[in-house]
Amino acid sequence: MQTIRRLETSAGNLYKEKIIRGFCHLYSGQEACAVGMKAAMRDVDNIISAYRVHGWTYLMGVSPLGVLAELTGRQSGCAKGKGGSMHMYSPNFYGGNGIVGAQVPLGAGVAFACKYKGNGGMCLALYGDGAANQGQVFEAYNMAYLWKLPVIFVCENNNYGMGTSAERASCNTDYYTRGDVLPGIWVDGMDVLAVRSATEFAIDYVNKNGPIVLETNTYRYSGHSMSDPGTSYRTREEIQEVRQKRDPITSFKELCIELGLLTADEIKAIDTKVRKEVDAATAQAKADAELPLSGLWTDVYSQCLEPKIRNCVEYNIKHVQQNKGVNH
């Protein structure tokens, strides 16, 4: 969780320095959701999410440099700088998706592939409260139930869809109850251990019975994206109160000390190690080479087309594949 928090802090600073351009959605405050779910996932399981995915990319095996360099558009990024903030990938991680709610039916498709292959895997399809009213979400519920697909529909309810509170956008904000015949469970998304337990239960359920809805009630500290100050539709006092009373990292640190699992000095040592690692990755993400212009038309397809891809530029260019399209 601490590494994700540091990564997002660094990403925010790089954006303010105008080294990161375009969209940038931070996960600060929601770390317990990702870490808890990942702790429960098995090697055969898969994840697909929306566009707040820097932390998930790290958890799914990409180094801090791979995340930050992708944000800065460098060749050492996990997608060689071509994907940016919303389009990061790694094995079993079907990435961020920029269209609100569109990843949910894709997650059902990943679950269908698991069932078709018979590999015992499942898929967590993540979406936010802002996407919960999308028609395609309910269509995915219906199809997943009919076909008994091994999918967990995870609503990360951080209480605000862009600048609109959940209460203003949804007639029913108990998102775990909105699956019709699909069962649902609610969990405190600021408690990493509770999220892990709920996910373990959900994985066991879907592999025996079919789809389920899981709502994690969480909170984002930053705005919807870096272009949103996040204070026009909520008060600074509200944000500060959550930080003081419900912060997932602080709460877990206190629990570890209370149970005698770690000392305060050991926790400080972990924090120092994380800070140094992320700082080093940040420096390298600034210094590494950008993709050359010739790289813009490489790795378009997993299988190279022969002899040419037409209409890329004014003349035809022979398509080449440099190497694997994703660094991991």
Render each residue's pLDDT in the chain as its tens digit; 328 residues: 999 999 999 999 999 999 999 999 999 999 999 999 999 999 999 999 999 999 999 999 999 999 999 999 999 999 999 999 999 999 999 999 999 999 999 999 999 999 999 999 999 999 999 999 999 999 999 999 999 999 999 999 999 998 899 999 999 999 999 999 999 999 999 999 999 999 999 999 999 999 999 999 999 999 999 999 899 999 999 999 999 999 999 999 999 999 999 999 999 999 999 999 999 999 999 999 998 887 877 777 766 555 455 455 544 555 566 556 666 6
Pair 318, 282 in one domain: no
Q: Which residue has the tokens 């802090």?
A: 9
pLDDT at 211: 99
Q: Are residues 282 and 312 in the same domain?
A: no
What's the pLDDT score for residue 291? 87
Would 226 be classed as within a structural domain?
yes
Range of the domain at 322: 298-328
Q: Quickly list DSSP for 257-293.
A: HHTTSS-HHHHHHHHHHHHHHHHHHHHHHHHSPBPPG
With respect to residue 94, please indicate whether it lies within any of the assigned structural domains. Answer: yes
Residue 311 domain-assigned (yes or no): yes
The answer on 168 and 30 residing in a single domain is yes
- On whether both 231 and 328 belong to a single domain, the answer is no
- Tokens found for residue 311: 């209409």
Dihedral sign, Cα of residue 169, residue 174, residue 179, residue 181: negative
Whether 12 and 133 share a structural domain: yes
User: Is residue 283 situated within a structural domain?
Assistant: yes
Q: Which residues have C-beta within 8 Å of that of residue 270, sequence separation ≥ 6? A: 2, 262
Do residue 201 and residue 63 come from a single domain?
A: yes
The predicted model scores a pTM of 0.91
Instruction: Let me know whether 143 and 235 are in one domain.
Output: yes
CB 84 within 8 A of CB 54: no
User: What's the rounded Cα separation, in Å, for the pair 233 and 239?
Assistant: 11
Same domain, 187 and 277: yes
Strands 212-217 and 151-157: parallel
Structure tokens at 31: 């770390």
Same domain, 15 and 96: yes
Whether 36 is covered by a domain: the verdict is: yes
Q: Which residues contact 112 (CB under 8 A, 6 or more apart)?
A: 147, 149
- For residue 314, what pLDDT is reported? 47
Do 194 and 326 belong to one domain? no
Question: What is the reported pLDDT for 294?
Answer: 78
Q: Is residue 293 part of a domain?
A: no
Is residue 179 domain-resident?
yes
Pairing of β 184-188 and β 212-217: parallel
Same-domain status, 98 and 224: yes
Q: Strands 164-165, 160-161: parallel, antiparallel or unpaired by DSSP?
A: antiparallel
Going by C-alpha positions, the residue among 63, 1, 131, 50 that lies closest to residue 326 is: 63
Domain count, the chain: 2
Q: Are residues 225 and 79 in the same domain?
A: yes
Residue with tokens 């700088």: 81
Q: How far apart are CA 94 and CA 193, in angstroms?
A: 25
What is the spatial distance between Cα 137 and Cα 141, in angstroms, rounded to a whole number? Answer: 6
CATH of the domain at 50: 3.40.50.970
